[in-house]
Structure 1
Amino acid sequence: MKKSVFLFVFILCTYSCVSIKKYNNEIYSVHSVSELSKDVDIAYTQLQKFHPKLYQYVTKEKLDSLFASLKNEIDKPINSYEFYERLAQVIKEIRQGHLMLHPPTQKYSKAQLKELRKLKFEFFELDFELLNNKLWVKGTRGADSTIVGHEVLAVNQEFSKKLVYRYKSLITSDGYNKTYYNRFVGKNFSNFYYAEKGFMDSLNLLLKNRDSIYFKTLKWINKGVVFAKHTDSIASARKLTSLEKLAIKEKQKTKRKEGRTRGYVPQRDHFLRNLEFIGEDNSVAYLKIRSFGDGNQRKFYRETFAEIKRRKVVNLIIDLRDNGGGSIAEIKNLYSYIAVQPFQLVNKAAIKTKIPATKAMISSKNSSFFEGILQLFAIPGLLVYDFLHVKTVKGNSFYNLSESKLKKPKKNNYKGNIYVLINGYSFSASSILATNLKATKRAIFVGEETGGAYNGTVAGQYKYVTLPNSLVSMKIGLMQIESPYKSAQIGYGIQPDMKIIPSQKDRLIGKDPELDWVLNSIFNVNKN
């Protein structure tokens, strides 16, 4: 028995190593015109079969023409990344922000991954932001903090403006919105660069700080290295002591425990949900929500609004800036605490496939062979679940979401003033929440137009498709998620009542102009 198990594991590992090598060879090799033509056909067929709002922003005639033109334009063999760039130019014309393409990237063996996990690439430790059409270093996560606030002029001798322009051409927002592009590319700049360039031992940034222009080399370093900032503003690297490592582990342990409710993200050392009280008398509640998802959100909101009621708060600030969305169940729960009348958060979801949950699970990328086996046993149950939730009316299919049912506000619901901070990366679920608050005139909005559309988006469940020749992957939303409220201005996000765009100067001095405007409005009213 032991010999059989050993043999099975040996064969599995050998097959894995061979398949990884074959995969890497395929993604860097050029593919024939006929192979890529087949991939184009498969991509369009899958979209037509599963996307419920494929022609919402583009006519069928135009999209047919765009896909046909793409096939004609590919007249010589090209590699997977080049094909991804060309296909993305067509996909973006559909103008559905959740519809995304991903180029194939290099895979690593278990031995390689084991070594890489001991290291961190300084480039991936940087956070970037696009402001005033310039790329800036917004923050660092363990990397050299002395470069925060400096402008990135070039990466490996390629101008950042050229890179940003190219990466913007690979994505789309919901409808005709423009604010999402800068936010998304800024937040994901290092991911875009890696997808294009592949593995790098190091790279050089050309940075600008006021009148000074200089190079900064970023490398792979040991995870046990931290940077100490001296008074002369030059950062030096040193290894952590045993006591420092122990202190960090204890701190992370405490945060993970607290994160069971607030949702802890160890890679960024922050919580998804934060509640603070501002002002001399702590009369203003500030609720920062980075994403809707991890952690016991029910417990968090129950405790949050109990505390808000106990303190007799009359002004609540909900910060949805850079909140890319997440769980619709969480926004329904949150909304039940701030709604003042019975509500239906969303409509029943329009669908093309009658088994969206099943399709999503079958097409998902399994993290292991054994998880894939377990999922096979779950299919019958999911099929029944889908069958019970789908209704067909006059030939159109709809999915009965629990969030589409009429719901009463919580008994201890908050009835005071609400201010909502938004920006271009307020997307998906955060835009659905914002739509309901805006339509019911429940809140004042400050910031910039949301990236997510007012009239809904195609999300909920996803079908993952890997094109067989190029290995480019495509994520297709299967449900039209929309609130009962509609705007006559089709294809745009929730507009702010007070438009405020932060500047790089604001970032450098640590100023938050959107939050400052709200606090000044509140405290000035209270004085009068």
Structure 2
Amino acid sequence: MKKVILLVVLSFLTSCVSVKKHNERREKPIPAEKLRNDVDFTYHQLQRLHPALYWYISKDSLDHKFDSVKTNINSPLKPNEFFQKLAPVIAKVKEGHLRLYPMEKRLTKKEIKFLKHQKGLLSRFNFVVDHDRIFVLDNAEKIANMDVGTEILKIKDIPVKQLLEKYKPFVNSDGLNNTFQKYSMSRRWPAFFTAEYGILDSVKLETKLNNQIKTFYLHREKMTKEEKKKEEQENKKLTKSETGKTKDYNIITKSFNRDLQFPTKDSTVAYMKIKTFSGTYSRRFYKQSFAKLRKSPAKYLVLDIRDNLGGSLYEINNLYSYLVSEKFQFIEDIQVTSRSSMFHADYLSEFSTITKPLAVIGYPLYAMVTMLSVKQKDDQFYLKNNGIFGIKNPKKNHFDGKIFVLINGSSFSASSIISSKLKGDQRAFLVGEETGGANDGTVAGRYSTQKLKNSRLTLPIGLMLIQPSIKFTNTKKGVIPDKEIVPTLAEILQKKDVQLDWVMQEIKKEQSEKSDQD
């Protein structure tokens, strides 16, 4: 209880630290000895809390890498210079959820207010990374010189290849998988760039389209009052509507998170797209959707979880109960490092500032439940797998037809777990690309966020080894599709969905064969 109260007080005091002081600390070199202490602290915390630290790398190899980074720190470094040395070592653990975060610049209230009325710079586009090249994938606002297919050659006169090579060591996937990196880099390289060069009002670009090279400045634009008002009204209308709630409308992507469609005239095929397992309104969506499916003539279900980075374990467990007809256990008992590891979870971060006092009062109950939930078996510690993740019955309106699942390298975490379970139980036919998350499980769930004492870098460590209840492949790879289809760069830029097209053709072929037999 004393520790929790102390955390609340420290959290309050930390929030009072001036922006100026934080940013000054960000630019101040730290003595080498203190940085080496941060390296030791990092490795100690990983060994104490991470339940599968040596799953993809041997202890001797990881010991050597941490020793090497310490040896190479022999002069003072700024926090983010230190980040560039330590982050690649942590990436060698090969756990996609495990990453070190740089020390970000804090903004003044005036700067925050100013940016609220700006449209952004690089964030206004979607990109695709192909090896060491970057292309514009989407330009919704039709900004000049940034047409779809435009290749970015240089940024601030720096070759794109040079930037990507610098950022590549910070990005990792689960295990020996190598399909995740290109998708992750496509999303994250603008953030790496901003962390390095700050929030810019404009940036010089050199681009290429149709063999024509252009050099120009991309400018941050101010959002007009009319645009702001229109956007707020549209978002408010959609999020308030029953459809918007059930489908979980995302005001950032301006799209629904979940959707169910019947793409064929005879409605014998259902298509369900899940962009993220956010958990929000998911129970209601699946209940309504599968009731609708039960009444429909649908014999095929296409479940599209491409580019779904995961989310709620509860949601995928619930979804699975609509896809099977027999009792099942969705995941194995969750492994942790010790009886006490869950006491280090970010308990207070799950509560708002207003509810934090109530959280402090309720901590003894949380602690007691946490303590009783741990069991020991063969010198290992597990969370008891009962309640929502015990043996479950299928839902009354479960789908009995054939299931195709669309996956790609950006299907990660919870998406990989449900894909692995569906494949392992031979309940679905998987089409697309090897998932970015591992077939045999991942370390995620609850986190313990460690703040490195001297550099002030942040390291969230997953506390729970979550594995689907299947026969493990032990390949250290992602979920391998039954039919591999990897779109080319040209197909991606032309928005050709070759994976979904293949599935629809396969269904059409099966229907034709059944018709001939009848």
TM-score (norm 1): 0.89
Deviations 1:269-299 (A, max 9, x none): 0111111111122321111111001421111
Asked if structure 1 preserves the Cα contact closer than 8 Å seen for 2:279 and 2:314, the reply is no
Q: Which amino acid aligns with 1:348?
A: D
The match for 2:376 among 385, 392, 412 is 392
Per-residue displacement from partner, 1:25-49 (whole Å, max 9, x unpaired)? Answer: 1112211101101110110111011
CA distance in 2, matches of 1:87, 1:362: 27
1:312 is the counterpart of 2:297: yes
Q: How many angstroms apart in 2 are the aligned matches of 1:358 and 1:330?
A: 25
Question: Secondary structure at the residue paired with 2:292?
Answer: helix
Contact 1:419-1:518 within 8 A present in 2 as well: yes
> Corresponding residue for 1:454?
439
Give the % identical residues.
35
Deviations 1:307-361 (A, max 9, x none): 1111121111011111000000000110000013211110111102435554222
Tell me, in whole angstroms, the C-alpha distance in 1 between the residues paired with 2:140 and 2:314: 31
Aligned residues: 499
- Aligned-partner Cα distance in 2 for 1:520–1:503: 19
Deviation per CA, 1:400-427: give whole Å up to 9, x if none: 2445311111122101111111111111
Amino acid at match of 2:394: P
Question: Unpaired segments of 5 or more residues in structure 1?
Answer: 1-11, 225-239
Q: Which residue identity lines up with residue 374 of structure 2 in the other structure?
A: V
CA distance 1:134–1:15, change in 2 (3 Å): closer
Farther-moved stretch of structure 1 (166-175 vs 13-22): 13-22
Instruction: Indicate if the aligned counterparts of 2:132 and 2:164 stay in contact, CA closer than 8 A.
Output: no
2:475 to 490, 493, 497: 490
Question: Are 1:176 and 2:159 an aligned pair?
Answer: no
Root-mean-square deviation (CA), in Å?
Answer: 2.3
Tell me which amino acid in the other structure corresponds to 1:201.
D
2:39 is equivalent to residue 40 of structure 1: yes
- Give 1:269's aligned residue: 254
- Please give the per-residue CA displacement for 1:130-175, whole angstroms capped at 9, x wherever unaligned: 2365311111454627522211212111121222222221122111
Counterpart Cα distance in 2 of 1:15 and 1:459: 27
- In 2, are the aligned partners of 1:105 and 1:198 still within 8 Å (CA)? no
1:78-93 correspondence runs (5 A): 78-93=77-92
The amino acid of 1:381's aligned partner reads L
Q: Could you give the per-residue CA deviations for residues 55-87 of structure 1, whole angstroms, max 9, x where no partner exists?
A: 112222221221111111111111111211111
CA distance in 1, matches of 2:352, 2:160: 34
Deviates more, 1:386-395 or 1:297-306: 386-395
**Does structure 2 retain, via aligned residues, the 8 Å contact 1:125–1:143?**
no
CA distance, structure 1, for counterparts of residue 331 and residue 231 of structure 2: 43
**Aligned pairs for 1:305-454 within 5 A:** 305-354=290-339, 358-362=343-347, 364=349, 372-401=356-385, 402-454=387-439
Matched with 1:27 is 26
Question: Is the 2:132–2:160 contact (alpha carbons within 8 Å) kept by the matching residues of 1?
Answer: no
Q: Which residue of 2 aligns with 1:67?
A: 66
**Pair 1:178–1:358, CA change in 2 (3 A):** same
| C-alpha distance in 1 between matches for 2:66 and 2:170 | 16
Provide closer, same or farther for how the CA distance between residues 219 and 17 of structure 1 changes in structure 2, counting only shifts above 3 A: farther
Q: 1:256/1:355 Cα in 2 relative to 1: closer, same or farther (>3 Å)?
A: farther
**2:274 aligned partner, one-letter code:** I
Once the 2 structures are TM-superposed, how far is the Cα of residue 479 of structure 1 from its aligned partner?
Answer: 0.3
Tell me what 1:76 maps to.
75
Match of 1:522 in 2: 507
TM-score by length of 2: 0.91
Q: 1:522 to 1:197 in 2, by over 3 A?
A: same
Corresponding residue SS for 1:90: helix
Following TM superposition, by how much is the alpha carbon of 1:365 offset from its aligned partner in structure 2, in angstroms? Answer: 9.0
- Counterpart of 1:292 in 2: which secondary structure? coil
The corresponding residue for 1:283 is 268
SS in 2 for 1:303: helix
Q: State the partner residue of 1:160.
A: 160
Aligned partners of 2:26 and 2:228: how far apart in 1?
40
Q: CA separation of 1:110/1:132 partners in 2, compared to 1, >3 Å: closer, same or farther?
A: closer
Q: Report the CA distance shift for 1:489/1:50 in structure 2 as closer, same or farther (over 3 A).
A: closer
